[in-house]
Structure 1
Amino acid sequence: MRVMIILPMREGYAADRAGAISLLVNRLAGPDDLVVGSPVEGTPLPGGTFVPVPPISPLWSVFSDNFRYLIGLRKVIRQYRPDLIEVHNKPAIASSLARVAPTQLILHNDPQEMRGASSPRQREALLERVRVITVSDWLRRRFLEDLDPAVVEVMPNCLDLGALPTPAPRRAPVVLFVGRVVANKGVDAFVRAWTTIASHVSGWKAVLIGADRFGIDAPRTAFVDRVEAQADIAGIAHLGYQPHPRVLEAMAQAAIVVVPSRWPEPFGLTALEAMASGAAVIASPSGGLPEVVGDAALFARPDAPGELETALLTLIGNDELREDLAARGRERAQIFDIGPARARLVALRLQALKR
């Protein structure tokens, strides 16, 4: 079975700019899978065989970037003639490509906020053309909202647990935030909470890893400048964007990882990585995060007065609780290991070909 995996146009398939979708595709792609996306500088990630979308004639320059990307995808499809097309996170592209080959759509974000799936009528039409898969049950419910019952499969994100850095036998007294430095991720709530409690937690420090976007060329924004200035005042080390291996190394050392997202995380890969790395986790109780962490984290709403501060003080002051949450997190992470995920993906691909 020749499978062609379609990345979103702005998803970089390279180590220095890979987001969550590229990292997942890299883990799961087999040697015969074709991974299609925008051209990358340097070496693509090793999963599958990377095929860059070819340049489009200047005659098409009057059309949108998305339309020109679709034209490029059609060229690649005509060249390789896949048995199955697997589109990540782009309903409109999946709907269009379904005319040329069996197609399944894997959704990583809220479909009600996506072009081609925002209305019930659009989502209903999608189900007639493509097989829909979501990375969490929360996303599945969002897709099916206001629709008659229908088959939408769930395939959670995964990790290759055997490839993670070895957790430190003695965790550093560090509270770590990892993620994009944007309001939705609650990074400013993390800085606010640490500013409030820092004088009460002698011997501990806070570290912030992230930038406005994934990649070494992430732009400076007013929000990034403001958060980093506040972090300086609070004594929080901010390291900017770091490659994914460096992020995992930091998680393997830190005692606590905070995931204080304001928006409903569709899955919550950072929380899963933190649990698998042996850190105790504090997470926002929204979106798909509760599905990921189960009973292996403390929950705190980022903007509820005192909740994040209280959770931090509770974990910092209770060694036994931290160790218990870390142990439960490592155990829970096992259900998201790469072996079961690969088997699930193969089964879903075979089902898609039988539609």
Structure 2
Amino acid sequence: MTVLTILPPRESYSSNSAGAISLLVSRLAFPGDVVLGGPVDGAPLSGGRFRPIHDLGRAWHWLSHSARYQLSCQCVARRLRPNLIEVHNKPQLALAMSRFAPVQLILHNDPQEMRGARSPREREKLLSKLHVITVSDWLRRRFLEDIDAAPVTVMPNCIDLAGLPPRAEPRAREILFVGRIVADKGVDAFVRAWGNVGRRLPGWSASMIGADRFQKNAPRTAFVSAVEREADVAGVAHWGYQPYEVVLQAMARASIVVVPSRWLEPFGLTALEAMASGAAVIASRNGGLPEVVGDAALHANPDVPDQLENAILHLASNDSERKALSERGLVRARQFDVIMARQRLKFIRTQTMELSGRSHR
């Protein structure tokens, strides 16, 4: 079966600056899958057969970037004649591609904030033309809000447990934040909390990794500058953007990883990576995070006074509780291993083809 996977136009499939969607696509891709995306800086990720489409839109220079991207994808589909097309996070593009083969629209973010899926009528149209997959049940509920019940498949994000760096033993007495340095991710609450409790935890340190974007040349915003100034005062080390391998190594060393998102997280991949790395996790309850961590995290609201501070104090001061949470996290993470995820994806693809009435070539 030939599967054509289409990334969002701004999503980088570069091994140097891949975002969460690209990392997931690369993990799940079968050898014959063709992955379409914009041009990459350096080597592409290893999953599938990556095909950049930067040259195909030049003939339509008067059109918008998204329109040129769509036409480029359609040209590839017309020549490739895939059995199945998977479109990530772009409802309008998914509809346009449904002319060429059965389509699976895979949603990683809130559909009610996407063009082509904001209204109930738009979402009903999508369901009539293609198969919808969401990475969490929270996203599934958002998609089905205010429309009649309909089949929407939940396929959680996954992680390659075998590819993680070795877990440090003993672990460093370090508390870590990893993520975009934006207000939605609660990094300012992390800095605030450490500033309030750090003096009460001798021998412990706090660090944050991230920038405004998942790229080396991420813009230096006023928010980033303000948070880093506050971090200097609070005693939080800040390392800026780091490659994915470095992030995983830091998680494998740290005793505690804090995920204090204010944003309604569609899934919460950072929390999964932290659990799989053996860290004890503190997380908010927003969006799909509770589905990811289950009972393997301590919950704290970043904006309720003292909640985050008390959670940090409790775990840092309690070795047995920290160890128990770490062990539960490791067990929990096994449910999201890439081996099982690829088996599930293969089943979903076959089911979609059968329902479409089109046979494999």
Return the offset for 1:110: 0.6
User: Could you say what the CA RMSD is over the residues aligned between the two structures, in angstroms?
Assistant: 1.0
Q: Does 1:171 align with 2:179?
A: no
The match for 1:280 is 280
SS at match of 1:175: strand
- Can you list the C-alpha shifts for 1:57-88, whole angstroms capped at 9, x where unaligned? 55633322111111111121122111100001
Return the offset for 1:351: 1.3
Q: For residue 144 of structure 2, what is the amino acid of its counterpart?
A: L
The match for 1:44 is 44
Q: 1:178 to 1:316 in 2, by over 3 A?
A: same
Q: For residue 35 of structure 1, what is the amino acid of its counterpart?
A: V
CA contact (8 A) 2:57 2:69 kept: no
Q: Does 1:138 align with 2:120?
A: no
The match for 1:3 is 3
CA contact (8 A) 2:185 2:263 kept: yes
Tell me the distance in 1 between the aligned counterparts of 2:342 and 2:171: 32
Q: Superposition pairs for residues 98-117 of structure 1, below 5 Å? A: 98-117=98-117
List structure 1 segments (4+ residues) > 6 angstroms apart after TM superposition: none
Q: What's the TM-score once normalised by structure 2's chain length?
A: 0.97
Consecutive unaligned residues in structure 1, runs of 5 or more = none
SS at match of 1:12: coil
Consecutive unaligned residues in structure 2, runs of 5 or more = 357-361
Tell me the distance in 2 between the aligned counterparts of 1:185 and 1:290: 16
SS at match of 1:336: coil
The match for 1:267 is 267
CA contact (8 A) 2:284 2:302 kept: yes
Tell me the distance in 2 between the aligned counterparts of 1:59 and 1:337: 43
Tell me the distance in 1 between the aligned counterparts of 2:105 and 2:57: 28
Q: What's the TM-score once normalised by structure 1's chain length?
A: 0.98
The match for 2:249 is 249
SS at match of 2:50: strand
The match for 1:290 is 290
- Can you list the C-alpha shifts for 1:73-118, whole angstroms capped at 9, x where unaligned? 1121122111100001111110111122110011000101111101
CA contact (8 A) 2:57 2:68 kept: no
The match for 2:238 is 238
Tell me the distance in 1 between the aligned counterparts of 2:209 and 2:167: 18
Return the offset for 1:55: 2.1
Tell me the distance in 1 between the aligned counterparts of 2:336 and 2:58: 45
- The count of residues paired between Structure 1 and Structure 2 equals 355
Q: For residue 268 of structure 2, what is the amino acid of its counterpart?
A: G
Tell me the distance in 2 between the aligned counterparts of 1:172 and 1:179: 20
Q: 1:58 to 1:278 in 2, by over 3 A?
A: closer
CA contact (8 A) 2:175 2:255 kept: yes
CA contact (8 A) 2:29 2:47 kept: yes
Tell me the distance in 2 between the aligned counterparts of 1:43 and 1:296: 36
Q: Superposition pairs for residues 216-227 of structure 1, below 5 Å? A: 216-227=216-227
Identity within the alignment, %: 62
The match for 1:319 is 319
Return the offset for 1:16: 1.3
The match for 2:18 is 18
SS at match of 1:104: strand
SS at match of 2:335: helix
